């Protein structure tokens, strides 16, 4: 006698949600005891949770494979099907061969439905992480937080953006930020200055906004004209209002695993990893890019101690840069569980550089001309179509990290408005 049942997970690689069959009540072997029970959560109706394949679900608990009274079973990884046998009928080779026709029939009956519902999983394609959907979720959280803050009698958070020059990309980015602010209930203003503005004039404007109690968050859109020192400008912004997280005190505290205003893009990458459930503890990570605003902060967030004041990912992180030979980079990425591409080089990461099942986060964004349509389009640092066939997770460009950056900026503005970091001793340095 045998019972076909669903498989909980396939070691996390199979993402099938198709419940193949139900176990008849009372047919499972007795539980081997409370110590052998897994602490995994029970499966939801119609769904298969991502748990190891060496557990099966009894009436009220997960029953580990092996042990006294446990059942034997035949596993078909490709179809996620399992045939469970009572302890007294553990199958030998002859019995397994005899059961092949039954298993073939069950696969044939289930195959059309599985193909229809899980086409990408059948091909082995990666799960495409929608940064837009995650950003909408975060913005909804921010909107609710602002509503509660204002309902408690507090002033509505306010964000000031200083935009210097006529860079079209910068104007587009600032417009997206102010639209997002309006969406979550944050008031904002954009202060335009010509590219000819002197550094001293810009610093005077920043000092004025620092002292304005009506301004909660302040950012100066980068890049700036060549005659202006960006580092001096970033350090001139009050660390309490530094929603970009570029002030040297915020960067230093981040590196010391202390509470600080985290840069929006690295924080967006961190949120993608956390909310998607990509494991980082003890995993190998490669960050391609060492910029002080993106690559370095991402590496810090991923490798630092998860038990510290500002928890990190406890991963083993390798950082590459422009002088890392391509073949050497491949030696690192081919072993990486997570690859974060933030170098600004189109198609830097290709399919042959990624191991099967890796998670790939594409931070790069470059405007190129399409060879077919001759129209400009945005591409990332990753060969998306090639890599998605090997990876387990991948972010697209556009629609991946970009929307998360804007959402995290809104979160930082709320932190600044609530003055959550001021009691922790952040003091501005002289410009």
Residues labelled catalytic: 177, 221, 244
Q: Cite the DSSP H helix spans in 277-325.
A: 295-303
- How far, in Å, CA of 344 to CA of 155, rounded? 39
Those residues with Cβ within 8 angstroms of residue 15's Cβ, 6 or more apart along the chain or in another chain: 50, 118, 121, 127
Q: Provide DSSP, 317-329.
A: EEEE-TTS-HHHH
- What is the per-residue burial (b if ≥16 Cβ within 10 Å, else e) of 298-326? bbbbbbbeeeeebebbbbebbbbeeebee
**Three-class SS of residue 267?**
helix
CB 315 within 8 A of CB 283: yes
- How far, in Å, CA of 10 to CA of 165, rounded? 54
Which residues in 168-326 belong to E strands, given as ranges? 187-193, 217-220, 284-288, 316-320
Q: Provide DSSP, 156-186.
A: PPEEEEEEES--HHHHHHHHHHHHHHHHHT-
What letter would DSSP give residue 308? Answer: S
CB 50 within 8 A of CB 156: no
Tokens of 139: 């913005």
CB 409 within 8 A of CB 267: no
Tokens of 206: 């920043």
What is the 3-class SS of 328-389, one letter each residue?
HHHHHHCCCCEEEECCCCCCCECHHHCCCCCEEEECCCEEEECCCCCCEEEECCECHHHHCC
Which helix (H) or strand (E) segment holds residue 48: the answer is none
């Amino acid at each position: 006698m045998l019972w076909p049942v669903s498989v909980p997970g396939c070691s996390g690689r199979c993402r099938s949600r198709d419940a193949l069959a139900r176990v008849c009540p009372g047919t499972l072997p007795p539980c081997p005891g409370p110590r052998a029970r897994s602490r995994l959560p029970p499966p939801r109706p119609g769904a298969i949770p991502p748990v190891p394949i060496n557990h099966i679900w009894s009436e009220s608990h997960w029953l580990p494979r092996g042990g006294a009274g446990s059942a034997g079973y035949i596993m078909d990884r490709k179809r996620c099907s399992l045939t469970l046998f009572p302890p007294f009928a553990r199958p030998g080779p002859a019995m397994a061969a005899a059961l092949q026709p039954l298993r073939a029939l069950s696969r044939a009956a289930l195959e059309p439905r599985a193909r229809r519902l899980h086409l990408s999983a059948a091909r082995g394609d990666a799960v495409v992480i929608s940064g837009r959907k995650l950003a909408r979720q975060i913005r909804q959280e921010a909107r609710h937080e602002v509503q509660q803050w204002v309902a408690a009698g507090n002033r509505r958070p306010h964000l000031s953006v200083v935009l210097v020059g006529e860079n079209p990309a910068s104007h587009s980015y600032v417009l997206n930020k102010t639209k997002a602010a309006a969406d979550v209930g944050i008031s904002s203003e954009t202060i335009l200055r010509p590219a000819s503005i002197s550094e001293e004039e810009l610093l005077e404007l920043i000092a004025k906004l620092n002292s304005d109690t009506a301004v909660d968050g302040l950012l100066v859109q980068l890049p700036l004209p060549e005659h202006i020192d960006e580092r001096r400008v970033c350090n001139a912004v009050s660390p309490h209002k530094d929603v970009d997280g570029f002030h040297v005190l915020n960067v230093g505290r981040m590196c010391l695993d202390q509470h600080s205003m985290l840069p929006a893009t690295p924080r967006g990458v961190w949120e993608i990893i956390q909310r998607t459930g990509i494991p980082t503890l003890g995993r190998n990570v490669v960050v391609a890019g060492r910029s002080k605003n993106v690559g370095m902060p991402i590496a810090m967030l991923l490798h630092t101690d998860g038990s510290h004041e500002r928890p990190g990912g406890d991963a083993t992180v390798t950082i590459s840069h422009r002088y890392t030979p391509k073949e050497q980079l491949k030696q690192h990425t081919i072993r990486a569980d997570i690859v974060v591409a933030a170098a600004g080089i189109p198609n830097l990461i290709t399919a042959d550089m990624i191991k099967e099942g890796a998670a790939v986060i594409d931070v790069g964004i470059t405007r190129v001309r399409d060879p077919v349509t001759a129209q400009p389009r945005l591409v990332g640092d990753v060969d998306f179509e090639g890599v998605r066939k090997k990876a387990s997770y991948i972010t697209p460009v556009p629609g991946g990290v970009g929307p998360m950056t804007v959402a995290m900026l809104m979160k930082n503005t709320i932190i600044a408005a609530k003055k959550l970091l001021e009691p922790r001793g952040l003091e501005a340095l002289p410009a």
